[in-house]
Structure 1
């Protein structure tokens, strides 16, 4: 008998069992996985964001969690959208548990009035795993998703680079950027830069390739930025490098790193150069500035991850120059209600 249980995030034992089941699935399927840590899950679930409602569901048999699902509902924007994920412990697959979990979160999103579902399917890169093994996993993952009515509407490559970064290689990429200075800060943007930083974050949301994902880009304002910083600070170190034009102080771009406090990984998130300032090599120099902070302040980190759309040729070339290699392929899977 399989029971479906809603997880109380303040129930330490239940939440940990949910997390361990998710990790068992991820570790089985992905050669170089990056996923949220225990601290990140517990912190975000126990301190809810005013912008997202999260529900965690477990499939339980006796005292064992055999599968888990998550439902995220945006609360301030994209009111049509629901994000879903389903994981089944490898030893319990092909018994209908994944479908049981999906049907439950699908019922909940319908009750919330959401008409578009999004999920991520991460598949091994053929260069990382034997072709027969990759083909089997691709077929299984895609078969499950397409049987539920999802289609792949966007692809990105998950790239990874060993740390510490090759200093000789990094130094060879350094270039002067006449007319610009590079600023850095940690977990809180300086007051005098907050409005400009919000404008750049909004531009990033508008510029990032989305394929056919039915998502309206988020507008970053100072309230949202403050909430993000306050919620992230206990869970992640942040490193931000920003470029500023020296003649008038106009902000020209930024690069953002997240470093989980309970992991040796690092996550290269956004890198943006504002349209009027492109063509000066600022993106490369912003990434180098964050790497310099990483080397000096977090020398224990062992792997740096990022995500890039291969059609974003400028950023893809930049990442290749640093020494990133492809770890896996991310598919954005989408399903929309008829009508």
Structure 2
């Protein structure tokens, strides 16, 4: 992940990626994430729907010439990061396919029923495969962050999550990612945010006490957005509070409303973060990323640029 001070392990990862994959937006990652096909070899997860066991390493290695495979290693099904991964994947799926991504696997740290509920709530596109990983095994093999003091049994999991959530413990990427949702980004892209707001609004989800942000036609098309009317910043790529509003809609309409169905069954997965990778023919790494905190998921525009 760009922007972190490289440790010796990270510098080795950077060299490995530079030698093997050429330009890559997800530059500084653990060694395991830099070679996902190798690090995930033998890790098998059941596919939601038919229960078929998918060997992640083999699935990446078997990527054919001229094709690409996207693997997302989510957190638990009720987590901010997992929800945003799915929403971004849903919005960018046509562009990913245009770049040659022929297969997308999303591993979620939850039971099959939790994965099914998440897919039902967010409307996964056809061709995207959900995998159930209740213990978070695949993410740990990939090298994701396990959160603050993951092996300290004296600290309750909820406290560990709280510390990371307010930005007081490693990993340290939570506050910058959360603040971006409030301050906006003049040069950002909001298409995926609007698509996610629209999907949620059509499903009856609300951002707490806020009114519906989008004006939709009878056919469900967006004909207006209240953020367009913001003085001075209405023309920004991502307006202040726009992404924060989507996150509030996710919090209230997904996480809080469906917590019992989405919550993890393994306490380790309450604080474990996620990551993603794109590989080309034979599992050659093209892009790798590990989340640096809550809401710190990759910019899919940068991911597309790396392909």
TM-score (norm 1): 0.26
Relative to total residues, which structure has the larger helix share, 1 or 2? 2
Q: Return the structure number with greater relative CO, CA threshold 8 A, min gap 6.
A: 2
Structure with bigger gyration radius: 1
